[in-house]
A and B are shown apart, each in its own frame.
Chain A
């Protein structure tokens, strides 16, 4: 190798990074999770508490804002790394706990294990997250550094061998990078699972000297936040993946298309790009070679359809985000008509690992057809909400009950929604389906971009289908007939059903129309929009029937089909809580001192039911909305 080979240049960066980071580690550090979810849980106030306590104890310690370690149920979270002790994670931080930790641990010698969640690295003193039951199932590749490294410091990334894959790739022909990605059988994590290597190869072969690489970070699926979390926690991993792609296909320019709703991700990525340019791993003559590639952030303007790649391109080009027909695919004719590789945040994130550790290593994880891991945001009615990364092939049951810890409050599992508005609802009987692109598709859902919402007995499947369809209908770009008008009519029928107005004929029409919208729409938004309806019809048809035939919502969720009722035998004369909780003064005190609801005034907001003390639990929902006869008697 010559004196200034890319690897030599990299080693210099690496040494500097290591020294800088080691110097930082000499002081005690508090790594505070300040991804959007952490901030929402109050992490910035917690930061103030820490700073105040550190100052008042006269300590020399650094508070570092890091990303998300995925254990969102315990936010706000921080890792305290004090020299001489294992780094420990603490959850549910508040002013009191911060005071205690600073006083006893930072100023003293007691790590307050009683408040610790887990240790970061293996040690003899305290268990790590890997020792949790979920640790058996989890295998963190692209989430490995999330929440542990400082996303605002490139050194923190480089020190963990960040950009080493780039140096390795640049030491060889671009074809080697492409071959490795192809051999890894990596499939696109944006939802459809198209082989990444093949997409890149298509772009490469498309010719021309102008090519683009775009990261699709328009994560619009409600209930999904993996991409946001990765961008906020480990932005360089994505950037490195994009630079590698650019090298493989010969692109010189690229974009990260990030949703408007993710301002924090935008900020962190912009800073990361700046630092990457300064270090020479982005921009001109990358790592001293002749390879040039630069990236910029394009902030989406709030349109779900822009997650569809051709609509995304329209949007960057300064137009309404409406999709175009494919083929030609963007890999051949993309941005400004030039070959353009568009991949998801997660897809790019795997690339540095594949280059560093090889295609065979990657293929050893997951299943032969879907190698690698799957990243999910696990939300809804599940104990351990958060981000999880498991090998492909893990079953849904393991994911929900082992990793997720099952359902809270002893409720019964009803369904799991995978893949957002384009995905489907799978029932208990499908829980042993292994998570991989093809098995999920067969079951009627899709991998999607990784949103996984658990639903229990209180969730109505008709209402859930309605929710998703309403979402796609509102987000339809309106260009093509099936999506613009078809989803509207489907939604109208569903609305009727949730109000108990449907009939068998309309149900059949709903099903037929759903199939036609699926087969006739222009883009994948429209083509997949009927999935929530089709899967709920397939697996939960009896719920539809209950609405139509009995005017009953089995989950007591559809508001037009329930009424709120105070069960006199459970109500107490001594308690008034519900009266105050009612926003419309619908609750009154009966002659006998018990409470009752004026159905005319009730807006079914659920306040009273939540307010009613658990020892009474007197407020109940009835469906169909018919008052018990006993009530009538008392009134007269």
Chain B
């Protein structure tokens, strides 16, 4: 068995570690593919944000690059009419449920959504979908950080950090469908929960839903 495979992404020949997922190979080679939910260390990606679509020669449908293992001679396109349409829709759908107030947002300038918009020439202020109205409250009970669910894109990276990196288990998904949220047991504040305030969730959050309080920024 070879340790490396040769693949082509957007006409570039790339040597990739066998068994690696396409998304990471692309990113390692400075080919940007939009993504929110993927965690490199996670064996089975959530594949929930639906942003990292690519087209692979010989496959009828676009596939998510976070789930696709590289294979010898694989020919990949990160852009096409079909891909761009899907990514645009997914992105705009996420924004229709995202509190877009970048100027007040601590993640401004360091936000994955802004990055996707810039890389793909998409507008943050999308007009296709009406903004979904929510009744969210900010949980600023921890000493140094806070959680604003109105910015949350439900990528689940904070939960991964809480479980796998911190080994705590204070937060998780609750409810279902459109009412899905990231929350504590019974929805109590983080300070009242078993959260150890290790802040790994803040580091993991790509969009400023978990953020450092202004005066406490590390």
Binding site for B on A (CB under 8 A): 303, 320, 324-325, 473-482, 484-486, 488-489, 492, 509, 512-513, 516, 519-522
Contact = CB atoms under 8 A, between A and B. Distances in A.
B93 A485 contact: yes
B132 A488 contact: yes
Nearest to B97: A485
B45 A486 contact: no
B125 interface: no
A472 to B, nearest CB: 9
B45 A482 contact: no
Given A520-B53, A521-B50, A482 B178 contact: no
B193 interface: no
A475 B177 contact: yes
Contacts of A477: 176-177, 180
Interface stretch (B4-12, B82-90, B104-112): B82-90
Nearest to B36: A481
B99 to A, nearest CB: 14
Contacts of B53: 520
Contact of B177 (A481, A484, A492): A484
A509 B128 contact: yes
Interface string B49-75: 111010000000110100100000000
Contacts of A473: 177-178
B89 A476 contact: no
26 contacts: A320-B173, A325-B44, A325-B67, A474-B177, A475-B176, A478-B177, A478-B180, A479-B48, A480-B47, A481-B51, A482-B50, A482-B93, A484-B178, A484-B180, A485-B97, A485-B132, A485-B178, A486-B93, A489-B96, A509-B128, A512-B89, A516-B85, A519-B61, A519-B82, A520-B86, A522-B47
B47 A325 contact: yes
Interface string B7-50: 00000000000000000000000000000000000001111111
Given A325-B45, A325-B64, A482 B130 contact: no
A482 B173 contact: no
B18 to A, nearest CB: 17
Contacts of A489: 93, 96, 129-130
Nearest to B94: A481
B101 interface: no
Contacts of B177: 473-478, 484
Contacts of B180: 477-479, 484
B81 interface: no
A476 to B, nearest CB: 4
Contacts of A320: 173, 176
Nearest to A509: B128
Interface of B: 44-51, 53, 61-62, 64, 67, 82, 85-86, 89-90, 93-94, 96-97, 128-130, 132, 154, 173, 175-180
B140 to A, nearest CB: 25
Contacts of B48: 479-481, 522
A310 B64 CA distance: 17
B50 A520 contact: yes
A478 B176 contact: yes
Prevailing SS type, chain B contact patch: loop
A486 B178 contact: no
Nearest to A505: B128
A386 B142 CA distance: 59
Contact of B89 (A324, A484, A513): A513
Contacts of B96: 485, 489
Contact of B50 (A303, A488, A509, A522): A522
B51 to A, nearest CB: 8
B88 to A, nearest CB: 9
A478 B64 CA distance: 18
Contact of A479 (B46, B51, B82, B97): B46
Nearest to B172: A320
A478 B86 contact: no
A473 B180 CA distance: 12
Contacts of B176: 303, 320, 475-478
Nearest to B180: A478
Given A325-B64, A478-B176, A481-B90, 17 more contacts: A476-B176, A478-B173, A478-B175, A480-B49, A482-B89, A482-B90, A485-B93, A486-B93, A488-B178, A489-B96, A489-B129, A513-B89, A516-B89, A520-B53, A520-B62, A520-B86, A520-B90
Residue of A320, A475, A492, A521 contacting most chain B CB atoms (<10 Å):
A320
Nearest to A492: B130
Nearest to B176: A478
Contacts of B178: 473, 476, 478, 484-485, 488
A522 B129 CA distance: 21
Contact of A516 (B64, B86, B175): B86
Contacts of A481: 48-51, 90, 93-94
Contacts of A303: 176
Nearest to A526: B50
Nearest to A478: B180
A519 B89 CA distance: 11
A478 B46 CA distance: 12
Nearest to A321: B176
Nearest to A527: B61
A547 to B, nearest CB: 19
Residue of B97, B175, B176 contacting most chain A CB atoms (<10 Å):
B176
A522 B64 CA distance: 9
Residue of A484, A492, A522 contacting most chain B CB atoms (<10 Å):
A484
Closest 3 CB pairs of A and B: A478-B180, A485-B93, A476-B177
A102 to B, nearest CB: 51
B95 to A, nearest CB: 10
